[in-house]
Amino acid sequence: MALLHRPQSTAVRHVSRETSTPWPGLALAAGGALVAWCIHRLIPGIPMLTASVVLGIAVAHLPGMRTFVRGPGRPGLSLAGRRLMRIGIVLLGLGLGLDQVLRLGWATVAMVVAVVAATFFGTLWLGRRLGLPGDQPLLIATGYSICGASAIGAVSEVSGSDEEDVAASVALVTLCGTLAIAVLPLLQDPLALSDLAFGRWVGAGVHDVGQVVATAQTAGPHALGEAVLVKLMRVALLAPLVAAVAFSVRARRRGVRTSSGRRPAPVPLFVAGFLAAAGLRATGVLPDVALQWAHTAQEALLAAALFGLGSAVHLPTLARTGGRAAALGLGAWVVVAGVSYVGVVLTV
């Protein structure tokens, strides 16, 4: 509001100076990622990416930080939520062992595809029936069906989703995925799941990779290995899903050009990079130390990006759709857990 009291030329210069300086916001995002890493090291049960989202939300509502986050820090935080997210998703492809995934067998591949399809379309339908605003149904469906916040970030890049819709979707998917860490291990014995079956159920039904690891490790190393392989299979479906959304958006906006005068690419560059990285990993030419460094960089970039997205969450706005969002989260959770359980029972 203060800008309304400035002379017009001064206001324009002020806005230009803020929007052209992303460094303060990027520095805050990097600091948030570092704090999230420290929290994860102290409490391994809390995934680094989960901590990043929560920290971003918290900082955006601290009395001493609100003005900075919504003002001079916003350009850098938005840049982190978009550009760093793209780079992190490309590096995510280096963790995709396609040869290992294929060794699980075609029955498991079919099961995972069925789980992803049922979860995506079921959540999308339910979200629209509940009347969630903007792209939230699409983004939440993506997060539940593929790989949590990373998938939401990838789809939001091609759908042009509003930053608040992205942040609200990330918050919901992160919350439900975190609850899975506590709930699913309690169900292994009542559902009569062996360690192998439990690991596959976790890999097929839990959202974020870190949450999959935290949940599956409770049943031992064999369950953990199966969970990670099934989870990687779900991650492999990220590229075709993003490409499908990109084609859908392009069809709706046929003839519309970007601000640079060019038509949007049919397949985003970062999706091609993700596939190229997965292909490079499959060749076996990269040494383990390079893959480890790439994984560390991926975690750092995604943590900074999710901190930036978390800082865009406005809790009063989120509260206005809280009941509907919670209903969608619960419904999607039942779908993904139920369909993946049936799939595991039929294929193990």
The answer, yes or no, to whether residue 294 has pLDDT greater than 80, is: yes
> With contact defined as beta carbons under 8 Å apart, do 36 and 303 qualify?
yes
In the block, tokens 């995972």 appear at 112
Closest CA to 211 of 235, 185, 178, 166: 178
Query: Residue 78 gets which letter from DSSP?
Result: H
Closest CA to 291 of 104, 47, 97: 97
Q: Which tokens is 194 given?
A: 């062996």
Read off the pTM: 0.67
Exposed, middle or buried, 189 (CB in 10 Å: 0-12/13-18/19+)? Answer: exposed
Closest CA to 292 of 85, 30, 37, 94: 94
**Per-residue model confidence as pLDDT tens digits over 299-332:** 899 889 878 877 877 677 666 656 788 888 888 9
- In this predicted structure, which of 185-189, 204-208, 246-250 has the lowest mean pLDDT? 246-250
Query: Residue 4 gets which letter from DSSP?
Result: G
CA separation for the pair 151, 85 (Å, rounded): 10
CA separation for the pair 346, 348 (Å, rounded): 6
**Per-residue model confidence as pLDDT tens digits over 86-97:** 788 788 778 776
